[in-house]
Structure 1
Amino acid sequence: MERLAGRIMLLSGAPRLFLAFVAGLLAVLTQPPFGIFAAAFLSFPILVWLLDGATGHPDGGLIRRLWPAVSIGWAFGFGYFLGGLWWLGNVLLVEADSFAWALPLAVVGLPACLAVFYALATLIARILWSDGVGRIAALALGFGLAEWLRSFIFTGFPWNAIGYAAMPMPVMMQSASVVSLATINMLAVFVFAAPALAGTGKGGWIGLSLAVALCAAHIGFGFYRLALPAPAGPDQPLAVRLVQPVIDQAKKLDDNERGAIFEEHLALTAVPAEGGARKPDIVVWPETSIPFVLTDSPDALARIAEVLDDEQILIAGAVRAEDAGAGLPPRYYNSIYVIDGRGQIIGAADKVHLVPFGEYLPFEDLLMSWGLSSVAAAMPGGFSAAKTRSLLTLPGGRTFYPLICYEAIFPGEIGTDARGVDALLNITNDAWFGDTPGPRQHFHQAQLRAVETGVPLIRAANNGISAIVDARGVLVVGLAYNYRGVVDTILPGRLPTPTNEVIRSRIFGLCAIFLLLVAVFSRVSFNIRKN
């Protein structure tokens, strides 16, 4: 392995950048639909060895000395995000006449921008670079800080965070009940990069031993937690039905199809439960499943009342309109409605975290003057964001924590009040993405929110993946992509988690400080040995 490491370290110029790009592409195999976490044990050692050789021009300034490491990190990130997010182009092809021109921006431009975070990661690592385990700690620290920044800068987009590579299945997800995704990002990079210590002859047995111990603790805790009794539901169990209508996105945008789409949802709602099972207490429709402003359509509420029994509840996604005042156009919200069996709206929650360029336009006045519009919003100006997140309270006192579409990818935005609810509720319309890795990646990230909070997840999608997941991230029932139908089950119960958000943020800080100290100590020792 030392021979391979040496050959990689000696690369320069275009071959070095190309290998970094390939290593990033290889890392994509760790994410759904593949879930091959072992690929990271090859891609990250390659990245370490490339950085070992990225010494820069010794007589140049600071920028010239650090630029090789920055360019390696960017190339690695570009390969990772290009290979993991290419499917976003499918969103623009739904209305190709209007948005196909932006395809290069989505498929190439966004990965190029996100790659800057990984360039920052390798910059931080290179500043602290030494030999042995110190450089692995520096790389883990750099990626941990970069992924943390990616979760909130420019409204945040932590899609396919590196830590998800270490959690492809429930037995490897349980650490998320103890530490935050931000911490898992750091520790995952440390473990994935540790094999590089076997290829440089620097006495890295300490780092390798620590990596093995982390792996053992990660998987061992997973087996332990899954061996505990499954979370029991409440004394009065709640029967839930998920409706997955599989409606083509182009059809959803056709005004002439709105009535047929609404009736399609009603027809699936009325399907008898299989095997003589009890009728569902709650029926859940996907995001924007009601294809018109519901408060302007009393006949639609009457039709819902016809299909539901008096004691049943419908939870459905819809656009909500709100009067903005005299002379001003109404504000529109991407919302969830709770409707009882009499056709009365008894609760609602609006989306808080909107998709930039999808549901609203940043710098709206300027960009609209250039003729641009948001992709997913059907009304001028796009959607408005709710100022606060509202819980959905059902008859009988049950509460759900609403997460609309990609809000489920932001663990930091799920407040402490989520721990007391009966379920996380994620409604989405992944038909925008087509039959690509996008819906699988989206579901995987939502699945982790159940483990982090210890609360079951109810997820309804227009075209997959709809599912109910228990508090340990275990799939209870589900509907695959492109499967039209319904699925019924009893909602699982909550499961206490060992830590809370405050403790997890402190663990993240302590891990970052520990890695920084290891990297600095190794750097100082390295400089002393050189001199």
Structure 2
Amino acid sequence: MQGLANRIMLLWGFRRALVAILAGAVGVLALPPLGFFAALFVSFTILTWLMDGNAGDEYGGVWGRLRADFATGWLFGLGYFVAGLWWLGNALLVDAEGFAWAIPFAVLGLPAVLAIYYGLATAAAGLLWSEGWGRLAALAAAFGLAEWLRSVLLTGFPWNAIGYGAMPIPVMMQSAHVIGLFGVTLLAVLVFAAPALLGSPGSRRTGIVIACLIGLLHIGYGAYRLEAAPDVKGDAVAVRLVQPDIDQSKKLDDKERASIFEEHLALSSAPPADGKPEPKIIVWPETSIPFILTQNPDALTRIADVLKPGQILIAGAVRSEDMLPGTPPRYYNSIYVIDDDGQIVAASDKVHLVPFGEYVPFEDVLDDYGIANVSEMPGGYSSGNTRSLLKLPDGMTFYPLICYEIIFPGEMQDAAGVADALLNVTNDAWFGDTPGPYQHFLQARVRAVELGMPLIRAANNGISALVDPYGRVVAGLGSGKRGFIDTSFTRSSEITSDDLIRRYAFWTLLAISITIATLSRVSFVSNKN
């Protein structure tokens, strides 16, 4: 192992860059749909040895070392994000005539920007680099902080955070309930980089033992929590999740609007599957109503005709809001709650919009260059000022999250204790049969685990499912399948957790890791001198 480590450390030029890119790309195998978490052991072991090679170059000085460390992390991140996000180009092919030109920016440009976070992480870790397992603590702290920053800066985009690679199945998700995504990420990097110690001279025992203990605690706690999961008591609520699997190009065709609407109604009015009870709640996916509902009273009447007494429809729709005379209306990506009389009884607007997908940043400037949003709405969408809880007539409350809002842990810190379930409506048809919908679904499941709340998820195409508070799929409909799911969930808030605890846990782990790395660095410099 030490011979392999030496060969990687001594790589130079093009070969070194290629190995860094490939190391990042290999790590994507840990993400859905494969979920081969062991791939990240390869990625972070190689990254650690590459960093060791930078530390051995004493001719460049401090700035030269910083540049080398940043370049190593940036190349690693480029490989990781290109391999993990290439499917974004599929969304631009839906309207290829208008947006195919932007595919290189989506497939290479965005990963190049996101890779800066990993470059900054390795540069920061390099400042505290030493021998032994102290350098692993530095790398773990730097990546944990970088992933947190990636979730909050420039509207945030924490898609495929490293921690998800350590949570492919429910037994490996439960740690997120206590320390959150970023706490899992920090510890995961520490564990995944541990094999690098086998290629280092001197004592390796401490770091290997610590990594093994963390891994065993991660899995052991998950097994304990699943085994100790209480039987949820209360009345089960029957729900139907509609997944129409409508091609995105069809959704953009004005001539298809009526047929799309009728297709949703047909799936909603079908008899229950396998003798299950009539659903009390029917959920349609994001932007499932293909026109401005408030401008089509006949559509509300049609919905009322389909709904049985006492049934509720929750549907994604575009909401318009008239502005001052002479100015265009504002459009919102919204969710409506509609009762059996065809009355809209609750609504919620999307707060966290997708840049260049639903709105264009600095639109006044970029519009001159012909850069428009990918959505079909003229002028794009406006964001809601606040997130409104969806309160149903029977008193049940859902916490609404539209599309990728569910990937942000910080978006739902006030959900626990105020809602009976998370509700996520999405339209992953933009991405076709690619890893994107599977990655999205994993991140949604982890949110359910973090909060200890059931998740109700309806997708046009992607993965529609009911997920329990432990990340287990109670019932689901896979990608590319048309139909509906009749299932039920129980209202319960007994196991919800406080987001403040998870945040304190992350910052505590970060402080401990930095302290260990600093002490190791001081000892390393003293011994060297």
The TM-score, its normalising length taken from structure 2, stands at 0.98
Unaligned runs of 5+ in 1: none
The one of 508, 520, 523 equivalent to 1:522 is 520
Tell me which amino acid in the other structure corresponds to 1:358: G
Q: 1:105 and 2:102 equivalent? A: no
Give the structure 1 partner of residue 422 of structure 2.
424
Same amino acid, percent of matched pairs: 60
Tell me which amino acid in the other structure corresponds to 1:159: W
Q: Measured at CA, do residues 50 and 416 of structure 1 come closer, stay the same or move farther in structure 2, by a change above 3 Å?
A: same
Tell me which amino acid in the other structure corresponds to 1:460: A
How do 1:93-172 residues align onto structure 2 when only pairs under 5 Å count? 93-172=93-172
Q: Measured at CA, do residues 57 and 517 of structure 1 come closer, stay the same or move farther in structure 2, by a change above 3 Å?
A: same
Q: 1:464 and 2:462 equivalent? A: yes
Give the structure 1 partner of residue 412 of structure 2.
414
Q: Measured at CA, do residues 15 and 186 of structure 1 come closer, stay the same or move farther in structure 2, by a change above 3 Å?
A: same
Say if 2:55 and 2:129, in contact at 8 Å, map to a contact too.
no
Q: Tell me the CA shift for residue 231 of structure 1.
A: 4.8
Instruction: For residues 406-454 of structure 1, give each alpha carbon's deviation from its aligned partner in whole angstroms, at most 9, with x where no partner exists.
Output: 0010011103233331110000000000100000000000011110111
In structure 2, how many angstroms separate the alpha carbons of the residues matched to 1:73 and 1:220? 32
Tell me which amino acid in the other structure corresponds to 1:175: S
Q: Tell me the CA shift for residue 500 of structure 1.
A: 1.5
Instruction: For residues 431-482 of structure 1, give each alpha carbon's deviation from its aligned partner in whole angstroms, at most 9, with x where no partner exists.
Output: 0001000000000000111101111000000012000000111000000011
In structure 1, how many angstroms separate the alpha carbons of the residues matched to 2:2 and 2:512? 28
In structure 1, how many angstroms separate the alpha carbons of the residues matched to 2:14 and 2:121? 21
Query: Does 21-30 or 503-512 show the bigger shift?
Result: 503-512
Instruction: For residues 139-190 of structure 1, give each alpha carbon's deviation from its aligned partner in whole angstroms, at most 9, with x where no partner exists.
Output: 0011011101100111000000000011000000011111111111111100
In structure 2, how many angstroms separate the alpha carbons of the residues matched to 1:28 and 1:230? 35
3-state SS of the aligned residue for 1:478? Answer: strand
Aligned length: 529
Q: 1:9 and 2:27 equivalent? A: no
Query: Does 408-417 or 72-81 show the bigger shift?
Result: 408-417
In structure 2, how many angstroms separate the alpha carbons of the residues matched to 1:19 and 1:142? 21
Tell me which amino acid in the other structure corresponds to 1:130: S
Say if 2:74 and 2:115, in contact at 8 Å, map to a contact too.
yes
In structure 2, how many angstroms separate the alpha carbons of the residues matched to 1:40 and 1:113? 22
Q: Measured at CA, do residues 233 and 343 of structure 1 come closer, stay the same or move farther in structure 2, by a change above 3 Å?
A: farther
Tell me which amino acid in the other structure corresponds to 1:124: A
Q: Measured at CA, do residues 231 and 390 of structure 1 come closer, stay the same or move farther in structure 2, by a change above 3 Å?
A: farther
Q: Tell me the CA shift for residue 56 of structure 1.
A: 7.3
Give the structure 2 partner of residue 20 of structure 1.
20
3-state SS of the aligned residue for 1:131? Answer: coil
Query: Does 122-131 or 197-206 show the bigger shift?
Result: 197-206
Give the structure 2 partner of residue 405 of structure 1.
403
Q: Tell me the CA shift for residue 276 of structure 1.
A: 2.6
Give the structure 1 partner of residue 252 of structure 2.
253
Give the structure 2 partner of residue 227 of structure 1.
227
In structure 2, how many angstroms separate the alpha carbons of the residues matched to 1:419 and 1:33? 32
Say if 2:143 and 2:186, in contact at 8 Å, map to a contact too.
yes
Give the structure 2 partner of residue 357 of structure 1.
356
Q: 1:217 and 2:186 equivalent? A: no
Q: 1:176 and 2:194 equivalent? A: no
Q: Tell me the CA shift for residue 89 of structure 1.
A: 0.1
Tell me which amino acid in the other structure corresponds to 2:358: E
3-state SS of the aligned residue for 1:379? Answer: coil
In structure 2, how many angstroms separate the alpha carbons of the residues matched to 1:210 and 1:449? 27
Query: Does 362-371 or 128-137 show the bigger shift?
Result: 362-371
Give the structure 2 partner of residue 67 of structure 1.
67
In structure 2, how many angstroms separate the alpha carbons of the residues matched to 1:13 and 1:330? 55
Q: Tell me the CA shift for residue 59 of structure 1.
A: 4.2
Give the structure 2 partner of residue 342 of structure 1.
341
3-state SS of the aligned residue for 1:419? Answer: coil
In structure 2, how many angstroms separate the alpha carbons of the residues matched to 1:276 and 1:514? 55
Say if 2:416 and 2:493, in contact at 8 Å, map to a contact too.
no
How do 1:130-529 residues align onto structure 2 when only pairs under 5 Å count? 130-229=130-229, 231-234=231-234, 236-376=235-375, 378-494=376-492, 496-497=494-495, 499-529=497-527
In structure 1, how many angstroms separate the alpha carbons of the residues matched to 2:247 and 2:345? 30
Tell me which amino acid in the other structure corresponds to 1:287: E
Give the root-mean-square deviation of aligned CA atoms: 1.3
In structure 2, how many angstroms separate the alpha carbons of the residues matched to 1:464 and 1:498? 27
Tell me which amino acid in the other structure corresponds to 2:360: L
Unaligned runs of 5+ in 2: none
